[in-house]
């Protein structure tokens, strides 16, 4: 009977592979939700070729169109669920079997946030300013946490100035990038 259910779930679902950068306490059977609605679950967990955690999620077919370019799956450790985030109906749908970024901690959010903001900045001059600031912040980080903390007030001010220039549609993304850098420095 379980084999029949598993087979039917496989026929009526899509699967996506979620890749995490850091520690991700994900377990098989963990629900996958979108805005509180259960859309699937973790089917299998493992370690990828890069020795980082991966989770294969099965998604009910009626929800497969939620998986779009630029989306991610975040881990809510307190609730014990994975949550689909960053869904943009204007972006192309991801095909069955696609790789999706997993967000489980500050490093994951930082990488995802930085890339998402860069992709959304339409003004080439502002994009170059943003990329230069990210490069400057990465260089300071390479010199050590103390060096980064020393320069953080300057970086924070520059991030906020850029956020004001890009407009309201990117405010939330800039706030997440700022928050992720701050957590990384703690």
- The domain spans of the chain are 2-104, 108-185
In this structure, are residues 55 and 96 in contact, taking their beta carbons and an 8 Å threshold?
no
Query: Whose CA is closest to 6, among 51, 89, 15, 65?
Result: 15
In this structure, are residues 19 and 25 in contact, taking their beta carbons and an 8 Å threshold?
no
Please report the pLDDT score of residue 98 as a whole number: 93
Mean pLDDT by 10 residues, the chain (186 residues): 45 83 87 94 92 93 91 86 87 92 73 69 78 84 85 89 78 76 75
d(C-alpha 149, C-alpha 140), whole Å: 9
Which tens digits make up the pLDDT trace of 99-153? 998 887 666 666 666 676 766 677 778 778 888 888 888 888 888 888 888 999 9
DSSP state of 103: E
DSSP state of 61: G
Please report the pLDDT score of residue 117 as a whole number: 72
In this structure, are residues 167 and 148 in contact, taking their beta carbons and an 8 Å threshold?
no
**Distances 79 to 58, 67, 129, 149 between C-alpha atoms, Å:** 19, 22, 38, 32
Query: Whose CA is closest to 180, among 104, 131, 113?
Result: 113
């Amino acid at each position: 009977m379980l084999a029949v259910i598993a087979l039917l779930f496989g026929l009526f679902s899509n699967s996506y592979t979620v890749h995490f950068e850091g520690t991700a306490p994900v377990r098989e059977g963990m629900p996958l939700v979108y805005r509180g609605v259960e859309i699937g679950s973790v089917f299998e967990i493992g370690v990828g070729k890069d020795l980082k955690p991966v989770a294969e999620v099965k998604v009910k077919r009626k929800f497969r169109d939620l998986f779009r370019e630029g989306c991610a799956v975040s881990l809510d450790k307190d609730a014990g669920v994975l949550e689909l985030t960053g869904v943009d109906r204007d972006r192309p749908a991801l095909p069955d079997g696609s790789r999706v970024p997993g967000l489980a901690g500050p490093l994951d959010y930082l990488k995802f946030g930085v890339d998402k903001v860069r992709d959304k900045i339409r003004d080439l001059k502002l994009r170059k300013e943003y990329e230069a600031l990210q490069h400057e912040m990465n260089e300071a980080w390479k010199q050590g946490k103390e060096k980064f903390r020393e320069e953080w007030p300057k970086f924070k001010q520059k991030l906020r100035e850029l956020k004001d220039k890009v407009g309201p549609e990117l405010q939330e993304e800039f706030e997440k990038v700022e928050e992720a850098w701050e957590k990384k420095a703690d």
